[in-house]
Chains A and B, each alone.
Chain A
Amino acid sequence: MSQVLTKGVNAPAMTRHDFEDFLYFEAALLDEWRLDEWLALFTGDAKYMVPATDCTDASTPADSLFYIADDRFRMGERVKRLNKKTAHAEWPRSKTRHTVHNVRIRSVEGNVYQVACNFVTYRTKNDVTNTYIGHNEYKIVVGGDGPKIAEKRSVLDLDSIRALGKISIII
C-alpha cells in the first residue's frame, strides 16, 4: 500500500493527482478494515456526515435528520464499534470495495482545500450486494504532517436507501 502524502506547508501546492492518491489510500484503508488508521486521516475536530436523501446542500445536522452526523468523538466510537464482534450488523464483516473517481479541487483557501469526488461503494454480506452511489465533499487541511480531513460529507445520489437497507459501514 502506498504511503500517505507528507507534504508540508512549505511544500508545493497539492495537485489533483496528490488528492487522488490520498483518497485512494483512504478507500483502501476502509476496504482492508484498517479503521484506526482511517481515523488517523482526520483532524481532531473532524466531522463525518451522511445526509438523508431528501436533504439539500444547505441542510445541516443541527436542523435536519441525517443518517450519520458524527463529531470526531463519535467517529472514534464508530470505529471502536466496527472493530467489535458485537457490532452485529458487521459481524461477520461484510466485504466492501470503495471506488473513487472524478476527483476535483473545488477551491483553495490558504492550506484548506475543498475537494470533491464521486464514489461507488459495494458492500456484500450474506450473499446480498448493496451499491452506495454518491459524491463526497471533503474539507482537507494540509499541514506539516500532510493532508488531514476536517470534514467528509458523503451525499448519496439516491431517492431513498431502500435498495441499501442500512448504512452499517463507513462509505
Chain B
Amino acid sequence: MIEKESGNSRSAYVIDDGVGGLFKVARHSFVDEAVLEDERRKVFDRCWLYFGHESEVAKPGDFVSRAIAGRNLIFNRDRNGKINAFYNTCTHRGAFVCRESKGNARNFQCFYHGWVYSDEGKLIDQPGKSSYCANFNDDGASNLARVERLQNYRGLCFINFDRNAVDLETYLGGVKEYIDLVMDQAETGMEIIGGAQAYAIDANWKLLCENSIDGYHGGVTHATYMDYLANTVGSMSATSVSGGGRQLGGGHAVIEYSAPWGRPVARSVPAWGEQGKKDIDAIMARLIQKHGEERARRIGHMNRNILIFPNLVLNDIMAVTLRSFYPIAPDKMHVNAWALGPKEETTDMRERRLFNFLEFLGPGGFATPDDMEALEMCQRGYQNLRAVAWNDISKGMNREAPSTTDELQMRAFWRQWNALMITKEAAE
C-alpha cells in the first residue's frame, strides 16, 4: 500500500494523509506570484524540459526557434548532423540572431551590427574585425551561448538549465517504459506532423498537468464528445474504457486503458472500411513479429495518457499528441501541441490519424475547448481561496488497484512538485 506509507506529510502546499485517505492541495499554489517565482527556480531551472523532436530538425541546417521556460532558444541541426540548443541572443548587444520560427540556415546573422555565427554557434565574422584586439574570442566567450544540457531520448530532445542535473535517462526512470510503448509504434521512427497548435489558457499551468491525466472528468466535461462518438456510425468498437493509473516515480505518471475509439496504430473501427482493416492488420502483424504478441497488443490496442514531469504530456489515444506548456503568469499558460505519427505511415492512415486527432484534441476540437473552459473556471474559483483554501485530490487513495477515474496519477505529480518546492536552496 504505497500511498499509506508515502503519505503523512504536510506542507504549505500539500496535505498527504495516507492513513486518513485524504490528499489536499492549497489553492494559493495556483495564484501566488511568489509561488511562481519559486517554481521558476526550483522546478523549471532544475528539471529536464521538453525542447523539440529530432524530426523537426531532420536535415543539416534545419532550425526552430522556440520559447522555453522564459528563455528564447534556437533548436538546430548543424552541418555535422549534431543537434544543438542555443540561447537566441547576440553576444554583442543582445538582439535575436534568429527571427524566424523555423527554416534552414548555415549561419545566423544578427541584423543589428552584423555579427555572424555558424550553425555550430561559432562567431565567424564581425564587420570591422580589425578594430578588435587580436585575441578577441580566442576563449569562445563570444560564440552563441549553449543551453547547459541537451539530451535525446528516442527522438524527444530535452534541455536542462542545471549543469549538475542527473542524466536524462535517470531522470525519466519509470516513464521510459511508456515512452517506449509509444515510440515502438513506428518501424522507422516517429515524426512531428506539419502544423503546430500554439494556444493559451487563462489558468495556472499545473491545472493542465492534472487535466491531461484526469480520467475522472471525461464523462461530464466531455458529454458532447461522447454524444458525437455515439452518433458516428462505425467509429466505435464494443470495447469499454477500463484500465488503471500508476505513479512512476519522479512525478511521472500514467493512465493506461482500453477504449472504444479507433487507433491508427493499431485498432480499426468499422468506419475505416475494408481497406482500413487491412492496413491495421498489416501494422499489427508487423508489431507482433517485432515485439511478440503480448507487447504488440499492448502497443496497438491500449491507450496511454502520460505525464512526464513537470510539463510534457504524451497522450497516445485516438491519435498521438505531444503537449508542452509554460506559465506566463500564475493565471496564464502558453501551450504548444503537436501530432506525432510513424514516418512510414500510409497516406490513408495519416489522414485517419489527423481526422481522429481533431475530433477530440486541440482548441478547435470537440473536447479540449471544454477542458480549457473548466481550467479557466477553476482559476476564477480560486479567487475565493480565503473561504475555500484547499482542493481535494483524494479519489482512490489507498485503493489496491486505482482505476483511470481515480486520482493517484495527479497525486504523483503533486508529491514531486511539493518535494521540489519545499527544498531549501543551497546558496550558489
Contacts and interface: CB of A to CB of B under 8 A. Distances in A.
Nearest to B225: A81
Interface in A56-110: 59, 61-69, 73-74, 77-78, 80-81, 84, 86-90
B284 interface: no
Given A86-B224, A87-B370, A168-B369, A65 B339 contact: yes
A54 B195 contact: yes
Interface string A34-60: 000000000000000011111100010
A65 B351 CA distance: 10
A59 B195 contact: yes
A86 B202 contact: no
B18 interface: no
Nearest to A89: B369
Contacts of A55: 194-195
A117 B380 CA distance: 37
Interface string B173-202: 000000000000000000001111111111
A128 interface: yes
A159 B223 CA distance: 32
A47 to B, nearest CB: 12
Contacts of B198: 52-53, 159-162
Contacts of B135: none
Given A54-B101, A67-B364, A59 B194 contact: yes
A62 B362 CA distance: 16
Contacts of B376: 126
Contact of A63 (B350, B359, B364, B374): B350
Contacts of B366: 77-78, 81
B362 A67 contact: yes
Nearest to A68: B364
Contact of B199 (A50, A65, A69, A160): A160
B334 A162 contact: yes
Given A54-B195, A65-B196, A89 B359 contact: no
Contact of A88 (B199, B221, B350, B357): B221
A167 interface: yes
Given A61-B355, A65-B357, A69-B358, A128 B202 contact: yes
Contact of B364 (A50, A62, A159, A160): A50
B108 interface: no
Interface of B: 101-102, 193-202, 221, 223-224, 227-228, 231-232, 334, 338-339, 347, 350-351, 354-355, 357-359, 362-364, 366, 368-370, 372-374, 376, 380
A163 interface: yes
A88 B227 CA distance: 14
Given A66-B195, A86-B223, A163 B200 contact: yes
Residue from the set A65, A88, A162, A163 with the largest chain B CB neighbour count within 10 Å: A65
Q: How large is the interface on A (under 10, 10 to 19, 20 to 34, 35 or more residues)?
A: 35 or more
Contacts of A128: 202
Given A67-B362, A78-B366, A54 B196 contact: yes
Contacts, number: 128
B21 to A, nearest CB: 30
Nearest to A52: B195
Complex A-B, nearest 9 residue pairs according to Cβ-Cβ distance, in ascending order: A65-B195, A160-B198, A67-B364, A89-B369, A64-B195, A52-B195, A166-B363, A167-B364, A64-B194
A164 B372 contact: no
A165 interface: yes
Nearest to B223: A86
Interface in A106-132: 126, 128
A77 B195 contact: no
A2 B322 CA distance: 46
A161 B194 contact: no
Contacts of A52: 195-198
A128 B355 CA distance: 30
Given A63-B350, A67-B362, A165 B372 contact: yes
B193 A64 contact: yes
A84 to B, nearest CB: 6
B224 A165 contact: no
A77 B224 CA distance: 9
Nearest to A70: B358
Contacts of A162: 198-200, 334
Contacts of A166: 199, 363-364, 368-369, 372
Contacts of B101: 54, 159
Contacts of B231: 77, 80
Interface in A140-169: 159-168
B363 A165 contact: yes
Nearest to B102: A54
Nearest to B336: A160
A89 B351 contact: no
13 contacts: A59-B195, A62-B347, A63-B194, A65-B197, A65-B354, A77-B366, A81-B227, A81-B366, A88-B373, A163-B200, A164-B200, A165-B200, A165-B202
